[in-house]
Amino acid sequence: MQFVSPILGIVTVVAAFLISVSPLANYGLQIAALTMVIYVGASFLIRKRILSVDLKVTLDVVIFSLTISLLIFTTGGFASPVFFLSYFLLFGVTLFSSPITATAITITFALLFIVAPKADFWMDLLQIGSLLAIAPLSVLFGRQYLKVLADKKMITGLNQKVQKDKVDVTEWTEGDFRRRLLRIQEYLQKLGEDPTIGLDKKERINSLYRQIYDLFLSGRNLEKKI
């Protein structure tokens, strides 16, 4: 997961708020639409490798934060009927970037509540209270998501190691291990056919020959298990 600076999230939310209290407030929806057009264009350039892929996450967080914040602040602020989109903003930023960035955005909303004009104080207070209540849940969700990603990365690493070990064992059992056992068996076979060797020694040689063969079979079984 690529980390996006919390400052960038703060700046986008503050910028949306400043637009909502400026003469540009009447063009909030148009500005939001323009940001989406820019997002689509930039995404196209990233897919074509004209822009760096590293910009993708930063672009997602900036556009996502700016667009939702603009919609909220230009349609009534904390009394906006689309204020619930701020919940999706927190969860989205947590997944795109990190819980720290989402926390910074939550604190920014809380500070803006102090200076923002209020149509209905208690309703606005309820809205910001609900956002503050949902923030810890988004952070917890983000941490669990990061843990899942870390576990997935660890499992991928283990799978790659297992595959490498499997190749190494296969090469060893089919290569050096097998050649050495065959040479030993050939030597023992020749000793067993030597007429100068006593019967008791030949029995020991034959026993050793069988044990080596069993060892070869156990190596093949080990290869199959891996």
- Asked if residue 112 is part of any domain, the answer here is yes
pLDDT in tens, 47-96: 877 777 677 778 888 888 888 888 888 888 888 888 888 888 888 888 77
**Do 106 and 150 sit in the same domain of this protein?**
yes
What is the residue-averaged pLDDT of the chain? 76
- Asked if residue 161 is part of any domain, the answer here is no
**Do 147 and 49 sit in the same domain of this protein?**
yes
One-letter amino acid of 51 = L
What's the rounded Cα separation, in Å, for the pair 94 and 160?
A: 29
- Asked if residue 165 is part of any domain, the answer here is no
In this prediction, residues 99-122 reach a mean pLDDT of 81
pLDDT of residue 132: 81
pLDDT of residue 42: 84
**Do 124 and 25 sit in the same domain of this protein?**
yes
Alpha carbon 180 to its chain centroid, in Å, reads 46
The residue ranking higher by pLDDT, 35 or 54, is: 35
**Structural domain span for residue 12:** 6-154
- Asked if residue 23 is part of any domain, the answer here is yes
- Asked if residue 170 is part of any domain, the answer here is no
**Do 38 and 79 sit in the same domain of this protein?**
yes
Predicted TM-score (pTM) above 0.75: no
pLDDT of residue 60: 81
**Do 41 and 118 sit in the same domain of this protein?**
yes
What's the rounded Cα separation, in Å, for the pair 23 and 160?
A: 58
**Do 28 and 121 sit in the same domain of this protein?**
yes
pLDDT of residue 112: 85
**Do 147 and 193 sit in the same domain of this protein?**
no
- Asked if residue 38 is part of any domain, the answer here is yes
Neighbours of 220 (CB within 10 A): 13
**Do 108 and 138 sit in the same domain of this protein?**
yes
Buried b (16+ CB within 10 A) or exposed e, 7-32: eebbebbeebbebbeeeeeeebeebb
Assess whether pLDDT exceeds 70 at residue 197.
no
In this prediction, residues 130-134 reach a mean pLDDT of 80
Written as one string, the DSSP assignment of the chain is -----HHHHHHHHHHHHHHHTSGGGGGHHHHHHHHHHHHHHHHHHHHTTSS-TTHHHHHHHHHHHHHHHHHHHTTTGGG-TTTTHHHHHHHHHHHHT-HHHHHHHHHHHHHHHHHS--SSHHHHHHHHHHHHHHHHHHHHHHHHHHHHHHHHHHHHHHHHHHHHHHHHHHHHHHTHHHHHHHHHHHHHHHHHT-TTS-HHHHHHHHHHHHHHHHHHHHHHHHHHH-
- Asked if residue 214 is part of any domain, the answer here is yes
In this prediction, residues 210-218 reach a mean pLDDT of 68
The residue ranking higher by pLDDT, 22 or 215, is: 22
Which of 66-80, 110-124, 158-172 ranks highest by mean pLDDT? 66-80
**Do 200 and 119 sit in the same domain of this protein?**
no
Assess whether pLDDT exceeds 70 at residue 115.
yes
Closest alpha carbon to 85 in 8, 149, 93, 143: 93
Number of domains in the chain: 2
Assess whether pLDDT exceeds 80 at residue 209.
no
Single out the residue in 119, 154, 189 at which a domain terminates: 154
The token pair at 21 is: 């209290």
- Asked if residue 62 is part of any domain, the answer here is yes
